[in-house]
Amino acid sequence: MEKIKSNSDHEHGYGLYVLVWLALVTLTGLTAAVAGINFGKLSIVVALLIAIVKSYLVLTEFMHLKTEERTFRIFIFVALFFILISLTLLFTDYSFYTR
Amino acid sequence: MTTQEHAVENVHRDDIRSRMGMWLFLFSELILFGGLFLMYSVYRYMHQQDFSIASKEMNTFLGTLNTVILLTSSLTMALSIAAIKKGKKGFSIFLQIVTILCGIAFMVNKVIEWSHEFAEGNFPGSSILANKPSGQILYFGMYYSMVGLHGLHVLIGMAIIGFMTVFTIRGKITKDDYVKLEAAGLYWHLVDIIWIFLFPLFYLIT
Amino acid sequence: MASETLSINHNGYHESYLEYQGKHKGIWGWLLTTDHKRIGVLYMISILSFFAVGVTLGFLIRLELLTPQGTIVGPQAYNEFFTVHGVIMIFLFIIPVISAIFGNFFLPILIGAKDVAFPRINLLSWYLYLTGGALVLLAIVLPGGAPDTGWTFYIPYSVRTSTNLIITLVAAFILGMSSILTGLNFISTIHRMRAEGMSWFKMPLFAWSLYATSWIQVIATPIVGITLVMVIVERVFHVGIFDPTLGGDPILYQHLFWIYSHPAVYIIILPAMGVISEIVPVFSQRTIFGYKFIAFSSIAIAVFGSLVWAHHMFSTGISDTAEFVFSLLTFLVAIPSAIKVFNWIATLYKGSILLEPPLLYALAFIFLFTIGGLTGIIQGAISLDIYLTDTYFIVAHFHYTMFGGTGFGFFAALHYWFPKMFGRQYNKKIAKIAFWFVFIGFNTLYFPMFILGWMGMPRRSYHYLPQFQPLHVLSTVGSWILITGLIIMFTNLFRSLLKGGKITKKNIWGGETLEWQIETPPTFENFEFEPKVFEAPYEYKQNEIEKEEVK
């Protein structure tokens, strides 16, 4: 029989999860507080940057992507690349359209 | 070892394979929402003013509260897997139930929000909304579609975790075989990530 | 391992998957099976049934177009005919046909595995397929009428029509789910279940093409899923996302629809290309020319194919920048496609060719797909496309790529693997006769459409100008020849199931891939021993001889 593979070689303590949660809640507070300030066009950039950092934390820590096989990390880039390239190409129309 | 049952079940157990299947499924879920994010970005680009005005109708406090609730549920979910890995079955079950309760709290908040919006007349097909500029109609169209689909995923996620709790109680999820619980956890965290993006995009437009 | 598995059998030897009795007996042994081979056969039966419905509708469409005015039905029925023809042929036939039938049956065998990664999910996706198919048929018979929007469900008409559109959209969504589950199953299978020694570059090219296909299925399908759901939401709740009267943008629907539906074209064609890459080396007894190029061109097609969707929209008023970008990217897809064609031809060159039915279909594939591909470049050029869009030229183009490509690829695969699947040999002489009927009928049916389109005949039109009639008549006659050929082909195959000569020889065509090293038909367990792979997939004696000559 093949060796049973699992994540168990990377034990996560409870403490790390609680720390990540604290960071996530802090970032949520930050994004809500910052929303009151008007950065103009930069507002959405700031909001999205914070959201990206939060998702990164969830992905790497809660979803164990950090200790997962490398293939999985390549996979996620494939999915994100598809969304981003679709968005970019979509805006080759909407940024310049004259309908 | 030589029964026919064995012949059917004679596939090596491979947890990485199971998680790979789950991740691939999550990508398709991600892109399901991705389609909606594409629509959102186009309409927000076309109607920046109207989106900003319409978003003032949102209750930012409830939105922030819901974000914290969902993040907490993600924490308890991750902890429940850590607990089962350490063989603490009872603690794991407790944490799973807390996760489901967080999901219920999230949905209750949503019902409060939506009934408030409906009372204000901000729902598809209402004459009040129909008289507003098309950008605001689109804002609420996107809001109900995206948050609605997300809510549906929360409900499904709660149901899945409910099944996992039963499996844990019955001893089908154990210290040595917890890949089902991991898969459920991955699903729940994805639902969380979607909300992490929905929150600033609908509640925090300046 | 060997001693264990041998004792499973009742008669001292492995049982064929067709006779294997598991937990469930008789019909339930099929309907509740998780065996990838049986699921492949289930797909074959159901897909061919829907194909028969689609062909019948196509036949009726051609019959209607025999005369410039009404011939057999009214305009509304005609609209419903071409819509349902499109929906069935695309969602129920051509998308799943090769990957669901032969992918399920042969992918695990080709890479030396016992089954796919998730056998139960595999069965679930067949049931989803069946549910989707049943809903499509339900939409035809329910009062309200079959959908009449065309298979693209374009806004705003799809929000207005009173026909049973919602059921069809739900069906398309469910079929999408089925497709996604098959895709994730295949990706996990290829990543995790290859036999010992089966490295990525020792995989048969059919497995490579399925890998690329599966990625498009997982990544692109959800986009059309959510888009179709939004059309339902629009019809039921009037949220305004797509409805122009509420501020929605109908062009955005087209964007999102084609973000999936153009890559879907490659979901359709890539498995067929994989089949051809298997058949060509076997019947020329040479190793495939440019293995890595063919493998990577599958991936390149999958990537580029996702970036070209708006070439379906050149005449909708999208921005000039978008037109320029998408036209350029469209031309780029021609490169990996051409790489494949050149490599197949180079493989055939100096090979010892066995002109058996599978190779005939494969050669027809190369010929017809090249015509389809080159006419695609014509439409990728904006200046020409503005003139040719929505004419019969496009109808001819996509029938050449879809039917001439994947349809013929399917027939090739059917004649190649059928004896292995069922342990029966069909009559080769009749198969060749059927081929010529299909090939001549196909060209008589679709080639006149290029000319009609060039002359300005609009597609989906019920009436047409009298000067178009001669070519329409020719085309309709072609449809009769084609259908005759199809009837001969399938009768021949079906007859061989009942009366054909039984074969037990493992390797009837002299192939070098793993499926030819196991029993015919395959045993329930596929492999007697866990296979170990040492060689690249297409090592033929011919190569040895050539190497000798060089020395």
Q: What is the ipTM of this complex?
A: 0.91
Please answer whether residues C202 and C533 qualify as being in contact, where contact means their C-beta atoms are separated by less than 8 angstroms. yes
Q: What is the 3-state secondary structure (H, E, C) of C110-139?
A: HCCCCCCCCHHHHHHHHHHHHHHHHHHHHH
CB-CB under 8 Å, C240 with B138 = yes
Number of domains in chain A: 2
Output the pLDDT for position C531: 86
Q: How many CB atoms lie within 10 A of CB B180?
A: 17
Q: Which residue has the tokens 């004896």?
A: C419
> What is the mean predicted confidence (pLDDT) over B94-101?
97
CB atoms within 10 A of CB C308: 24
- Cβ C65 vs Cβ C5: under 8 Å: no
| Residue C77 touches partner A, C-beta closer than 8 Å | no
**Phi and psi, residue C196, nearest 5°:** -60, 130
- The per-residue pLDDT for B130 is 87
Contacts with C491 (C-beta within 8 Å, 6 or more apart), sequence order: none
Phi and psi based region of residue C350 (left: phi greater than 0; alpha: psi -120 to 50; beta: remaining):
left
Same domain, A92 and A58: no
Same domain, A51 and A28: yes
A1 within a domain of the structure (yes/no): no
* A60 and A36 inside one domain: yes
CATH of C31-550, one of 1.20.210.10, 3.20.20.140, 1.10.1060.10, 3.40.50.1370: 1.20.210.10
Binary contact (B36, C226; C-beta < 8 A): yes
CA distance to A98, C230, C242, C319, per residue, from C155 (Å) = 20, 11, 7, 19
Total number of residues shown for chain C? 551
C-alpha closest to that of C198 among C468, C534, C472, C488 = C534
The boundaries of the domain holding residue A32 are 12-68
A28 and A48, same domain (yes or no): yes
For C271-294, write each residue's pLDDT tens digit: 999 999 999 999 999 999 999 999
Question: Angle at the Cα of C423 (from C418 to C424), degrees rounded to 5?
Answer: 75
Average pLDDT (C138-167) is 93
Question: Which 3 state secondary structure label does DSSP give C377?
Answer: helix
Strand-pair partners of B137: none
At C542, the pLDDT band (50, 70, 90 cuts) reads: low
**pLDDT band with cut points at 50, 70 and 90 for residue C528:** confident
> What's the CA gap between A2 and C143, in Å, rounded?
57
Q: What is the phi/psi pair of residue C532, to 5°?
A: -120, 140
Which of A85, A89, A90 best tests the C interface by mutation, with the highest count of C CBs <10 A?
A89
Give the mean model confidence (pLDDT) for residues C302-316.
Answer: 92
Task: State whether A19 and A30 are in the same domain.
Answer: yes
**Is the same domain home to A74 and A56?**
no
Q: Do C255 and A90 touch (CB under 8 A)?
A: yes
Q: Is A98 on the interface with B (CB under 8 A)?
A: no
Share of residues in chain C with pLDDT > 90 (%):
83
Does the CB of A60 have a partner CB in chain B at under 8 Å? Answer: no
- A9 interface with B at CB cutoff 8 Å: no
Model pLDDT for residues A6-26, shown as the tens digit of each residue: 444 455 678 999 999 999 999
- For residue C5, pLDDT over 60 is answered with no
Do A75 and A63 lie in a common domain?
A: no
Q: Rounded to whole angstroms, how far apart are CA atoms C536 and C290?
A: 13
* C325: nearest CB among A89, A94, A98: A89
Query: Which of the residues A1, A2, A3, A7 would you substitute to probe the B interface, choosing the one with the greatest number of B C-beta atoms within 10 Å?
Result: A7
The whole-angstrom separation of Cα A6 and Cα A39 is 46
Do residues C159 and C243 touch, judged by C-beta distance below 8 A? yes
CB contact set of A33 (below 8 Å; sequence gap of 6+): none
**pLDDT on residue C549:** 63
Q: What long-range pairs does C140-145 form, CB within 8 A, spacing at least 24?
A: C140/C80, C140/C84, C140/C164, C142/C167, C145/C76, C145/C80
Calculate mean pLDDT across residues B25-39.
Answer: 95
Cβ–Cβ < 8 Å for C6, B1:
no
- Domain map of chain C by residue range? 31-550
Quick check: C322 contacting A, CB < 8 Å? Answer: yes
Whether omega for the bond prior to residue C244 falls within 30 degrees of 0, making it cis, is no
Summarize the confidence of residues B100-118 as an average pLDDT. Answer: 96
pLDDT (0 to 100) of residue C1: 30
How many angstroms separate the CA atoms of B86 and B92, rounded? 10
Rounding to the nearest 10 degrees, give the CA dihedral for residues B79, B80, B82, B87: 140
For residues C74-92, give the mean pLDDT: 96
Kindly state whether residue A5 falls inside one of the protein's structural domains: no
Please report residues of B whose CB lies closer than 8 A to that of A18.
75
> How far, in Å, CA of C477 to CA of C278, rounded?
34
C272 close to C185: Cβ distance less than 8 angstroms: no
Domains in chain B (CATH in brackets) are 37-203 (1.20.120.80)
Could you read off the pLDDT of B121-133 as tens digits, one per residue?
A: 888 888 888 899 9
B127 touches chain C (CB under 8 A): no
Structural tokens at position A49: 């940057």
* The predicted structure's pLDDT at residue B195: 97
Nearest CA of chain B to the CA of C244: how many Å? 9
Q: Provide the pLDDT for residue C544.
A: 63
| E strand or H helix at B108 | helix B89-120
* The two three-digit tokens of residue C144, written as one number: 């309200």
Is the residue at A27 inside a domain? yes
Q: Are residues A39 and A60 in the same domain?
A: yes
